[in-house]
Structure formats: C-alpha cells, structure tokens
Structure 1
C-alpha cells in the first residue's frame, strides 16, 4: 500500500474509497498547556480541603485546651462555611473586574492572614476572628477555581480538567488528616495551633505560582482584548480550527461582531458585571432560570446529603462505632481521606468518557445505599450494651463506601457542571451563587450534626441524609441534561425545556448541527428552540 491517495472510479467518475477513508478519527492529544493552567488554578482548592480535614482533629484538642462546649465546637467547625459566602459573592464581581487570575491571588492573601490569626489565637473569640478571615479567602478560591478552569479548557477534556478543584479539596483533606496525626504528639496548647497555622505555607506558594498563569481567554474577550485572547486560545485548544471556533463563539456571547478582528475593541459596560443580577433573578429567560435552578440544586444536594458531617466529625462517628483510642480514630480518618483522594482521581478519568449524568446518578445511588446501611449499623451499636465487632467493621466500611461513591460522582460533578452551564456574561456571578448555596448548606449541616444526632440518634441522622440523597436522585434525573462534549457557548440550547429528557432526537439534532456547522439550536425569549 505505497499509495493511499483516492483514485477515480472509471465508471462513475467519483473518487474511490480507500483504506484511509475508513481509518478511525485520531483522538486529540491531551493539551499540556491547558492541563498545567487547570492544575495551578485548582490548587487553590487545597485551602478548603486542608481546613476541613485539619479542623476535624484540631477541635478535639481545642475543646480540651479552651474548655468550650459542644455548641461552640459546632459553631467553630461550621462557621467558616458561612463566612465563605462573603468571599464567594464578592469573587464574582471581583473576577469580572480585575480578572480571574488576580482574583486567585486575592484569595491566597486573605487565607494567609486567616491562617496566621488562627495559629496565634489565644482564646475562642480570637480564633473565631481567624476563622472569619480564612473563610472569606476560601470563598474566593472556591468560586474562581472552577470558573477559570472551565473557561481555559477545551471541550474534549473540560470534564477532566474542571474536576481538578474537587481533586485538590480531597488532597487538602488528606493533608489535614495527616497534619492532625503528626502534630497530635505536641503539647495540648501547641498541637492545634500548629495544625491550623500550617495552612499559611501553601497559600504563600500558590499565590506566587498563580502569577505565571495566563488570564482566562473569555475574560479577555469580555474586556475587548481579542489579540490576547486569541494567543491563549491557540495554546489551550486541541487545534487551530477549534481555537478559531471558540473565539468566534465567545465573541458572539460577549456581543462582539464576528467580523471584528482588531486586537482591542470597545465592549459594553455589562462585560464588567453590571446588570448581571437582573438577568439572573429579575428577568431571566426560561433557559437561564433552568440553569440557575440546576446549579443551585446540585450544590444544595451535594452538601445536604451529609458529606461534611462525615468528613468533619469522622472521629466522633468512629467513636460512636466503637473506636475509643485517639490515635486509632485519627488513623481511621486518614483512611477516609485516602479513600476520597483515590476515588476522586478515578472520577477525573471517567467524566469525559461516560458522561456527567450516568456517573452522577450511579454515585448518588451508591451514597443512598451506604448511608442507609451506616444508619442501620450505628443504630444496632447504639442499642446494644456489648461491642459487636461485625457492626463496627460494617460502620467503618460504610463510611469509606460513602465517601468513595461521593468522590466518584457527586463531589467533582457538582463543580464541573455548575461552572460550565451558565452563559458567558452570567458565568462568574452565577457560579458564585452556586458556591454560596453550597457553603450555606455545608455550614448548616456541619453546625447542627452534634445536636442532630443527640436529638434523633446518630443512626437516625444518617437515615435522614439517605432520604435527602434519594430526593436528590429524582431531582438530578429530571432536571440535569447531559453536557459532555458540548462547548460552553452551546449549553443554552439544552436548558429551558425538557425536550432533552423526553425527545430522544433532541440531543441528536444538536449534535448534528454542531458537526455539520449549520448553526446551533438557540433559545428564543419564550424558551422554545429556534
């Protein structure tokens, strides 16, 4: 087969098909530049993970050292999530004004100050001030990392890259657990201060490294800097053709004429974030309303199914299950962190292969089963006077099973999905709303767990979480369309109606239009397809 060029058929005059015509299309190589950008941006999520992980062990020693009640322990553990609201809401506007990259730097500076304050805290009030400052920094980081990653990623690997924030949250949790065990041997008044203060070190490193990252190409287009955006898109796309298509789509979404090729063009004021709230809440189109409901819903259910109760209070759960040694409880929490980290890494490779919906629904189904079984095991232990080793092993296994199922779907997909479905001009502040709901729900769950299990038993608490997870399964099944492989500018065609769910040809038509280059299905003001 020295010559594989097409030859002309002597009878029909049409080109003959050769073996080359039947070769499968080559899968694009993973874009190393986009991968590096996603990793650098997502490392900011280590801050939240570290704080959650380290606080689970630190509160054991803080309670003994500062002589605080269980109510104060609940508030101390969960209040950071509410403080995150300030950071996540402010980050939406900040990122539209100064850019995604410098917003990440701001998050690191604020968290550094918070970690130092917590490390040098002399009493409960001082410690709460440090929690407040650190919470604002975490809120900034949580909102901006998935937005930046989604905007810099090519469609072929967006799920893989956008799951990185959750990967680093889990890595932070594991580091926090290890820190707990390492510093637990220090004197009581020093150990927890080292645990909390150590978070200042990664914030300095990350805040410096982030400065070498490029700015988000979508933010650059929103500022009219087309030349700069084109250079970055050329580096972060799988091909020159894809870079041109992405630039054209972004320009259209930003309201810049496609014919405009100047390096710098004037843009309307709304590109800096003005009037976004009106489009989100006061006068949303059916598509935007559906997108907002989907984003808020997935963030709410991610936290209300009890993940922070398990991660933050795992030592208490293991104590209720029958483990009494402090060292054994801390080692068991390390097993939780290790399990979460391993399964989140597995999830990153599945997101772009089997899709968001199958992975999410399978994950939630596994969580429901694990939570219900954990509730049964803890109830049996709670109602017996003697230790039953099989029940102890069952409870430990179900905790690990729960975090594994959470990490393989619900954990990463929440951040991936909510960061990719909003229209361009609404993305930063829309995502900040999802993060705000996430943190409020997390704060409520983590600040009520001890009171909850005292009121309805610890087994009853996990039965309640299993019920919430069941409701979330129904919500996801009917409200969340598949977004795998779509460009960010193409998402709107999936939302605003339920044709994706009940019309099997609807998604196929969108795919066909994309492949043929004959335009996209758009939503009009009445929410119908045009």
Structure 2
C-alpha cells in the first residue's frame, strides 16, 4: 500500500497548477456566505425588528442566536446526506434550504413567522458549514490545503460584510419594510450558488467510497500538483476506504453497507476510540468550542450595541462603524489565506489568540471606564474601545477564524470524517448560540465590560489548550494525519473488525 510512514516533518511541495482545486474550493466555500450574511444583516436589522415588532431584549437575543441551535439539525443531517448523495449535491441542497428560509424571513408578518424562517435558514446554514470545509479538504492537494480550506472563513467574512452593507443601504426604507428587505435579499446569493455548484466535480474521496475509481482519478489528476502525487493520493484514499492496493479499474463493486456500519463509526469515534482517535476528536471539537467561546459572535452580532456603549448613538454612524468591522475582518482573513501554508497552522493560531487576549482586555477596560462615567465622554476610552474591537476581529481573522475550519476538516480519518466534522460544527453552533443568546442578559448582569473580561478569560484557556493539544498539520496528507496524534502506523485508528470487512470487500469487488 502507499501508506508508507511519513518523516517527522514534511514540507509541503511547491505548488504547481492548482487552478482547478482553487476554482472548486471557491465554489464550495461560497456556501459560507449564507451564514456570514445572516450574522452581518441581523446585527443591524435587529435594531429595526425590535422597534417594529415591539419585542423585548430577551426575545431579541433569542431571535439573534437561535439560528445557531437550529443549524444543529442541518449539520448532523449533512453527514448522512453527503455520504448518500455526495458532497456536491449536499451543497446545492444547503443553498435551496437557505433560500426558503430567507424568503420566509423577508415576508414575516410577526415574531412567530420570523422565528420559523430562522429555523429553516438555520438548517441550511448547518448543511453549509459542515460540507464546505469537508469538500474543499478532500479536493485539495497537500501543498495548498491550508490556503484552500481557509476559504469558508473568507466567505463567512465576505457574507458578514455584505450583511453590513445591506443594513446601511436599506436603513432609510420605512421601518416595516427595511428589515424585511435586508433579510429577504439573502435569498439571491443562494440561487446563484446552487446554479454554480452544479459545475463542480464530486469529491474524489466520496467517489472512491462509492467504487468509482475512474472518476476519482480524473478529479485527482486535475487537482494534484503532479501525476505522481495524484497516484499517491488515490492509493492512500483506497487504503483508507479499505480497497486492496492491487485492485484497479474504473468501477469497483462495493459491498452493500451493513446495518452495523453506522454504529461502528460511532463506536470508533465516540464510544470506544483509540488514544489517537480520542485526541483527534478532542482537538477537532475543542478548536470549534474555543473559536466561539472567546466571544467573536458577541462582537460581530452586537457591534452596534458595543459602539453605542462606547458613545456612538446615531444609527447611521453605528452602521457605518460596523461596516468598518466587516472590512477589517475581510482584509485580515485574506492575509491569513496566504500565510497558512507558509507559516503553518500552529504559529498563526497561537499568535492570533495571544492578540485576541490583549484586545479583549483593552476593550473590556475601555468599556468599563466609559460605563463608570456615563454622563461624560472620555475620548481616550472611546478610542480604545473602538480600536480594540478592530484589533480583536483582525487577530481573530488572521488565525483562529480560518484555522478552525482548516484544522477540523483535515484531522479526521476518512471513515469518520463526516461524523467528526458534524460534531465539530454542532459544538461551534451550540457555543455560538449560548454566547449570542446570553450576551444582552450577561451585559446587564455584570456590565458589558465585565462580559468582555469573561471572554478574555476564555481566550486564555484557548491558548493553553491549543499549545498543549494541537500539533502542526502543514504539509501532511489527509491519510497521514493519524501519526501526528500518536498512532504507531496509519492503520492503528482502524478497529480489528475492519480487517474482516476488508476481506469481504476483496472477495466481493469486481472491476470493469
């Protein structure tokens, strides 16, 4: 088999032509615009929804954060759907669901209908968040995987910026119309996305799992740096899928999936994992938890409230300053995409979280000073709060933001990748939901400055966790990741019963 032991440190190959992988990654990652647009547009639309529907602060924070809880349905369903109909059609399905949700929100006549629209949109977001990084990681060569799998975060940021711009553009419409247009227009990118994705090829790893070796070869030839790398990737994928190395041909008849296969995946990943698999699971879920627990969605979703606490009270100025946050996030995420494969995941991640800690402490200090003197404007404290907010989103976007999706999409072995990524996305969305649905209440209880001191403490814990648990993955093939987490060889993560399954597969397989 081609799953030979890797050296202790592997430098990524110099990029050849990755134009096809680049194009495919762009199209897949565009699904992340859906989540980004919702986050950005709700930050401004919430100001007008509260006035128009006359809802309380508690109702508002539930409305803001509930989409993250609803997205759990989509993230878990996406694992099964992507293994059933393929990664590509799952992306199309995500876009269609979000289109329906945006349409319902745009025509909502009351709070109940608006919540239902957010449920539907949330399912679509869950699908998109789970499948985009998985597809991109599976289609990317090792030399460019960090660059390409950071695209989902790029498009989340681009979507946030579009949402902010939508807020600013439609803020002057009548109260009962403006926020509905802001939300409803989100259906437009979903339609465009669904049509464009149909031109993408299927993931080569999914094709191999379905026995379509010839189709997988075609995709790998287009998305690898060299023909030799394409052959090596195919051999590694075949080994991970349990297909004997000597078995070749365009089509292989795979044995029917047994009723216990899904239970075996849960057993390998959750119920009785090997030490290496346990560390992989902890790393994949932990990075998603800390990405949200450090308060990014509180800053992005509630930035108008943060800036109002800092002394900016005019709605147009609030939305304009919020747009500056979106521009800052977008610029720095673009910088990050070019550094991931040059510097590596670990140095960027630790530097990013260190900067976030410093920014959160400064933001909390500035807001605390302003809160203690509500009747006087303190220019230095206002300036510190605004500058710290910009610095925080910049540090987040250059490291923790994109690396979360890159890292979690590349560390899980092929057979458990869909479930592992679904669990990571579920953790991400639950944590985000808790943060966004408690921020207003938390700020009222311990002050807004105290809330950001709390997020700063979580960022400190995140830095310690990342330093302790997360190895560098730059330049590794997806099939070679297990060695980084303590496996003695690449087959250690596979349970003894898989050997029996391999023998059955070899006997059942035929070639055309």
Normalising by structure 2, report the TM-score: 0.92
Q: Distance in 1 between matches of 2:258 and 2:16?
A: 33
- SS state at 1:343 partner: helix
| 1:121-270 correspondence to structure 2 within 5 Å | 121-269=108-256
Q: Distance in 2 between matches of 1:496 and 1:122?
A: 55
| Conservation of the 8 A alpha-carbon contact between 2:98 and 2:187 | yes
Q: Say whether residues 1:291 and 2:274 are aligned partners.
A: no
Q: Distance in 1 between matches of 2:426 and 2:19?
A: 32
Q: 1:342 to 1:284 in 2, by over 3 A?
A: same
| Conservation of the 8 A alpha-carbon contact between 1:254 and 1:271 | no
Match of residue 77 from structure 2 = 90
- SS state at 1:103 partner: helix
Q: Say whether residues 1:446 and 2:433 are aligned partners.
A: no
Match of residue 346 from structure 1 = 335
- SS state at 1:482 partner: coil
| Conservation of the 8 A alpha-carbon contact between 1:223 and 1:271 | no
Deviations 1:25-60 (CA, angstroms, capped at 9, x unpaired): 993324100000000000010000000000000000
Give the C-alpha shift of residue 269 in structure 1: 4.4
Counterpart selection for 2:411 from 409, 421, 428: 421
Q: Say whether residues 1:383 and 2:399 are aligned partners.
A: no
Match of residue 317 from structure 1 = 306
Deviations 1:336-393 (CA, angstroms, capped at 9, x unpaired): 0000000000000000000000000000000000000111100000001310111111
Q: Distance in 1 between matches of 2:298 and 2:26?
A: 28
Q: 1:202 to 1:258 in 2, by over 3 A?
A: same
Give the C-alpha shift of residue 322 in structure 1: 0.5
- SS state at 2:312 partner: coil
Q: Say whether residues 1:464 and 2:451 are aligned partners.
A: no
| Conservation of the 8 A alpha-carbon contact between 1:50 and 1:172 | yes
Give the C-alpha shift of residue 278 in structure 1: 2.0
Q: Distance in 1 between matches of 2:14 and 2:427?
A: 38
| Conservation of the 8 A alpha-carbon contact between 1:56 and 1:311 | yes
Give the C-alpha shift of residue 268 in structure 1: 4.2
Give the C-alpha shift of residue 274 in structure 1: 2.3
| Conservation of the 8 A alpha-carbon contact between 2:267 and 2:273 | yes
| Conservation of the 8 A alpha-carbon contact between 1:271 and 1:425 | no
Normalising by structure 1, report the TM-score: 0.89
Counterpart selection for 1:430 from 420, 426, 433: 420
Q: Distance in 2 between matches of 1:283 and 1:88?
A: 23
Q: Distance in 1 between matches of 2:94 and 2:256?
A: 25
User: Which of structures 1 and 2 has the bigger CA Rg?
Assistant: 1
Give the C-alpha shift of residue 525 in structure 1: 7.5
Structure 2: state its 5+ residue gaps.
1-11, 496-512
Q: 1:188 to 1:172 in 2, by over 3 A?
A: same
Match of residue 278 from structure 1 = 267
Deviations 1:445-485 (CA, angstroms, capped at 9, x unpaired): 00000000100011100000000000010000010000000
Give the C-alpha shift of residue 279 in structure 1: 1.6
Q: Distance in 1 between matches of 2:381 and 2:491?
A: 55
Q: 1:26 to 1:313 in 2, by over 3 A?
A: closer
| Conservation of the 8 A alpha-carbon contact between 1:173 and 1:337 | yes
Bigger drift between 424-433 and 358-367 goes to 424-433
Give the C-alpha shift of residue 522 in structure 1: 5.5
- SS state at 1:212 partner: coil
Q: Distance in 2 between matches of 1:357 and 1:379?
A: 33
Which structure ranks higher in relative contact order (CA pairs < 8 Å, sequence separation ≥ 6)? 2
Give the C-alpha shift of residue 201 in structure 1: 0.4
Match of residue 19 from structure 1 = none
Counterpart selection for 2:387 from 377, 397, 400: 397
| 1:485-504 correspondence to structure 2 within 5 Å | 485-496=475-486
Give the C-alpha shift of residue 264 in structure 1: 1.3
Deviations 1:257-291 (CA, angstroms, capped at 9, x unpaired): 01111211122445997232222111211111111
Q: Say whether residues 1:327 and 2:316 are aligned partners.
A: yes
Q: Distance in 1 between matches of 2:258 and 2:279?
A: 22
- State the number of aligned residues: 482
| Conservation of the 8 A alpha-carbon contact between 1:289 and 1:496 | no
Match of residue 504 from structure 2 = none
Q: Say whether residues 1:337 and 2:326 are aligned partners.
A: yes
| Conservation of the 8 A alpha-carbon contact between 1:305 and 1:468 | yes
Q: Say whether residues 1:41 and 2:31 are aligned partners.
A: no
RMSD: 1.7
Match of residue 22 from structure 1 = none
| Conservation of the 8 A alpha-carbon contact between 1:101 and 1:213 | yes
Match of residue 21 from structure 1 = none
| Conservation of the 8 A alpha-carbon contact between 1:89 and 1:433 | yes
| Conservation of the 8 A alpha-carbon contact between 2:15 and 2:144 | no
Structure 1: state its 5+ residue gaps.
1-24, 498-509, 511-519
| 1:349-368 correspondence to structure 2 within 5 Å | 349-368=338-357
